[in-house]
Structure 1
Amino acid sequence: MSTQTTSRRQLLIGLAALAGCTDVPLVTPASTERGGDELRVLVWRGGTAARLGHNHVLRAGDLRVDWPAAGPVLRFRLDALAIDPPVLRARMGDGFASIVDDDARAGTKANLLKALEAAAHPEVVVRTLQQVGEGARRAVEAEITLHGVARRQWFVAEVDGRRARGEVVVRQSDFGIQPFTVLGGLLAVQDALVVQFEVLQP
């Protein structure tokens, strides 16, 4: 393998690791295709050399959902996040069409857990505080606890019978997390993350 090819491979692996650093999140597990709960976190590439990297999708692998009166409470462990599952990437469209190999996924997860100080703050909790509105569309206020920091945030949820789905933008910096960057910003991940979730009330 040529030196140029090796350097490019190392650069791409580094970009994948980047994305892991950013992450974090919010709520919901399993697979909607199996009728369960699911939470996805979309991580966007950044930096002046962003075109060399990948966007990433993370899935909460051990999502637990309780249903008190105010609405669902979601919990998951950071070390249980699945990084770029190939089947899930394939469902996400053109922005996730690039292939992320096993080495890149492992590097992303290692950097993610380090950046989030997962050993000290292993769990993410999303607790519904109130819901406004009736019918299919509702405004929801939730308290998100991540990286040892609790923040309140509003978002819109779609309710269809016992199933609720929604999407929320979360900024890492609001939780004291420095978005991953290397080489003076040449490679980076965006501060804003998109969290998509779907939960089913028992």
Structure 2
Amino acid sequence: MRVLVPARPEKGKRMWSAQDVARDQVRRQANGLDVAAIAEKVAEAAVRERETAEQLRGNGSFYEFEMDRERSAAIWLAKHAEWQRVRDFMTTAGWGVYEPEQDTQGSVWAREREERRAGAVAAQGAVGARRGEEADELRAEVWLSAASGRRFRVVADRAGLRPSQVLAQLAERIVVGEDGTVSVPPFTPSQ
């Protein structure tokens, strides 16, 4: 009989989208800038958007440390759009300088990002706690002789369990004597 333990779950996805990253960066960088400075940022973002799009198509070279071309291009596309939104918002509102706290749409997005971040941090903490527990776990593959395997199957069937569950219950009850002997007191496997 062979007892296998399932593999660990896959790692999670990114916490923030390209739009989230762009909106956060623009919100911080735009703070206190006037309309002329924002217009310069729009022009700069347009250039970077075009460059990363060309590099994505293979018409340019990325620095060696830039591994994710699609992500970089998506972020610059989103930054360009966000700088334009800030510029248009300031022009419509008649602002002299950008104040992130007064930008209602930007503030809504910032709160949503913070909520997602807090949720992701909490989830990561739970994963870390589980991994800490898993570090003490033992995952094993056990090969039993035909006779032992048959006995395990009979015991498991009577208890309504899988053989691996009976083995786990057996392992939980192991007693190690002072002289190093290993024994298991009699017990009845249960669900």
TM-score (normalised: structure 1):
0.20
Q: Which has more strand, going by share of residues? A: 1
Q: Look at both structures and tell me which one has the larger radius of gyration over its CA atoms.
A: 2
Q: Hey, which of these two has a bigger chunk of helix by percent?
A: 2
